[in-house]
Amino acid sequence: MFSLYDLAEIGACFASFFTLLFVLVRRPGHVSGHLFSFVTLATLAMWVAYIMIVPRTIMLMQWQQGILIALFSIAGSFWLLFLLMFARESAFGGVRDRAFTVYILVALFAVAAVAAFFTPFIHLQSDPISERFFLLTTLGKYFLVLIILSCTFGLFQLESTYRASVGQMRSALLKPVLATGAFLSVLLISAMIGLLYGRFEFAGIQLGALVSIAALVLLSRFLVFEEITGQRVVISREAVYSSVAVLLVGAYFVLIGVTVWFLVSIGGSPKVFFSVLAAFLAIVVFVALFFSRSIRARWRGLVDRSLYSGKLDLLTELSTFAEAVSVVTDKREMFDAIAMVLEQKCHMTDVVIVLRGSRRGEFNFGYPTASLHTLALPTVEDWLFRAGRMMSKGEIQPFLGDCTEEERRFIHDELGDHFVPLMARKELVGFISCRTASGTGADVRFLIDSMSHQLALSLLSARQSEALLETRELASFSKVSSFVIHDVKNLISMLSMILQNAETKFGDLRFQQMTVDTLRGAQERMKRLIGRLTSPTKQADMPLSDCDLRQLVLDLTEDMKLSGQRKISVNLDIAELPPVRGNAERLRSVLSNLIINAIEAMPNGGELQIKGTADQVNAWIDVKDSGVGMTAEFVRDRLFRPFQTSKPSGLGIGLFQSKELVEQMRGELTVRSAVGEGTCFRMRLKRA
């Protein structure tokens, strides 16, 4: 009958049952979730058979032994397959990569399951010390070796999965991996002890049952709540290198244990063995430290040849390609990079890259030769967008019925047997066509889809960079054009003043000579303005020299005929103005703009003051009017910003340009203004 010691097996039975129901009800979409259902079902059947047979039996019948071994073998096979697929990106990739090992282990489990019905593996016995235990026959010992190999292989897969995980995925995997690892470790240690002593204790079974409860609960929780988010682990070779190293270290210690047991069994002393072993380990550690880089390189080469012969290192290839395309902006270099990987690593031929045009259904050849000829492929664009992944010609056959005759002819004559859409940010950038002599595996498809996504992102970024650069060039040209237009407007204002005075002073010979000089100066300034417009990028290049600011103001007021302004009195106080560091042409432009603004601010007349002061370092010149003034909000928020003006016919460029020009001359332009009291602009420049 049942005893207190059977509670562990009963608990494992209930845990298997409820986790099976939990997974079936929540239905995780990944293949490892479906396989876990078979794992729990086989484990449940194994524990039910154990509970129904072992506690009630004094001596096992052959058919009872066969049922126990067969159910254990079935459960072990499902656990192996599950651990190969658990949380991994390519669910069947692990099975394919380890096909030989998996097939051998599963085949051995199948042979054991059948043989157990005909040949004894275990005998149920008891003694006064440990009560009941399983006495192993020769076949039973071989079966324990199979269990040891399977647990070791499972631990290796579990450790590789966890080592390759990152971020939130690693945090989510921690508890189920620890629990499952503990379960496999208990089985492994119990099997090794059983193999050593030729008997399998019930304590090992009960401990394994207890640990399996935690493993089943945490695995089911992960599969339902974590893996359903779509995150998967990609097993890189770096993880496998480390995992194989850990596995060999474990195997090394197992070998030590077996050797000690053998020495003791033949009457030898283990002390001598451990002394020699310690000296040997010291030598090995010294050599490993001295030749560590060489050992790592050789070790990786051995792993590549034995486990990855003819296979791709997905993460390395993808990171290398991403780095290559992220540092280039030329499309041709991007196309060469992906074509090289497709041809050399994926064994593709006839690589063709077709780029989407600006309109729907329009495409152009981009590689190997670029063409401006537009291809009309609207239906192809639709099914490429819907597919979003690499497809073969066989997979696109259902879509060909919707294509036009021109599209079908183009696909048949110009393209290969595989199509890869270039998609990023829900936008189709183009597609890649290529040929292959053999089928493409899941790892190759994963690499190609990932590289195509990276290429699409790079193409979109390059396109956006080109658009941004073009926008900036246009903005720069527009800015310089606005400045030039504003200067032309100032010249027109100056000529308008001359025309106003010409009505009364046209007969004056001196006025006529001044008018000719002014027109000649205006012509020269227009030439310089056109030169600035044709080379806007050189606007910021301003040569500075010593300028006689006092004479410049006198010449400007004479050219602008300020003395002839009606209703406006001009007051000049510039006797103290010293020479300054600046650019005479730009200073003239700034002062002209300030004076014209002052005059326009006094439509009903007023006073214009131009005053100069200086100290040992700086010189200041004030342009003050008694006009309408400006509000504090306008001065603070809008005055020196482009295209902001308080005048109905203004462009809003003059003061923005003036401030920039003064700052380029290492000076400063400030303002004081109040509504109804006028405005005063102060320009500070360094003394020469």
Mean pLDDT in order along the chain per 10 residues (688 residues): 64 89 76 83 90 81 90 91 76 58 86 91 74 84 88 83 76 88 88 83 86 91 68 51 51 58 58 58 57 58 59 64 71 85 84 86 84 78 83 78 83 84 86 83 80 85 69 59 62 66 67 70 66 48 84 85 76 88 88 87 87 91 90 77 59 75 90 89 91
Looking at CATH, the fold of the domain delimited by 481-686 is given as: Heat Shock Protein 90 (3.30.565)
- List all residues 6 or more positions away from 309 whose beta carbon is below 8 Å from its beta carbon: none
CATH class of 314-466: alpha beta
| Cα–Cα distance measured from residue 556 to residue 550, given in angstroms and rounded to the nearest whole number | 10
Q: Are strands 606-614 and 568-573 parallel, antiparallel or unpaired?
A: parallel
CA distance 498 to 561: 7
Cβ of 284: how many Cβ atoms within 10 Å? 11
Phi-psi map region of 198: left, alpha, beta (phi>0 left; psi -120 to 50 alpha) = left
CA nearest neighbour of 601 among 650, 651, 647: 647
Q: How far apart are CA 593 and CA 609, in angstroms?
A: 15
Residue 392 host element (H or E) = strand 391-392
The DSSP-derived string for 126-192 is: EETTTEEEEEE-HHHHHHHHHHHHHHHHHHHHHHHHHHH--HHHHHHHHHHHHHHHHHHHHHHHHHH
Asked if 659 and 640 touch (Cβ cutoff 8 Å), the reply is: yes
Give the contacts of 171 (CB within 8 A, at least 6 positions apart): none
Q: Report d(CA 531, CA 536) in Å as an integer.
A: 9
User: In terms of Cα–Cα distance, which of 530, 490, 495, 531 is closest to 516?
Assistant: 495
- Containing 674, the helix (H) or strand (E) segment is strand 668-674
| Tokens matching residue 507 | 């007969």
Domain ranges of the chain: 4-234, 236-311, 314-466, 481-686
> How many residues does this entry show for the chain?
688
pLDDT for position 679: 92
Report DSSP state, residue 122.
E
Residue type, 623: V
Please report, as a single letter, which amino acid is at residue 215: A
pLDDT at residue 564, rounded to an integer: 66
* CATH of 4-234 among 1.20.1260, 1.20.1070, 1.20.120, 3.40.50: 1.20.1070
Closest listed residue to residue 435, CA positions, set 362, 361, 335, 339: 339
Q: What is the pLDDT of residue 635?
A: 80
Q: What are the backbone dihedrals phi and psi of residue 310, each rounded to the nearest 5 degrees, phi first?
A: 75, 15
- Residue pointed to by tokens 């053999």: 438
Q: Is the peptide bond before 536 cis (omega within 30 degrees of 0)?
A: no
In a 3-state reduction of DSSP, which class is residue 671?
strand
Predicted pLDDT of residue 535 = 47
Choose among 344, 580, 534, 359: nearest CA to 444.
344
Mutual angle of helices 584-600 and 654-664, in 10-degree steps: 150
Cα–Cα distance between 319 and 442 in angstroms, integer?
A: 18
First to last CA, the chain: 112
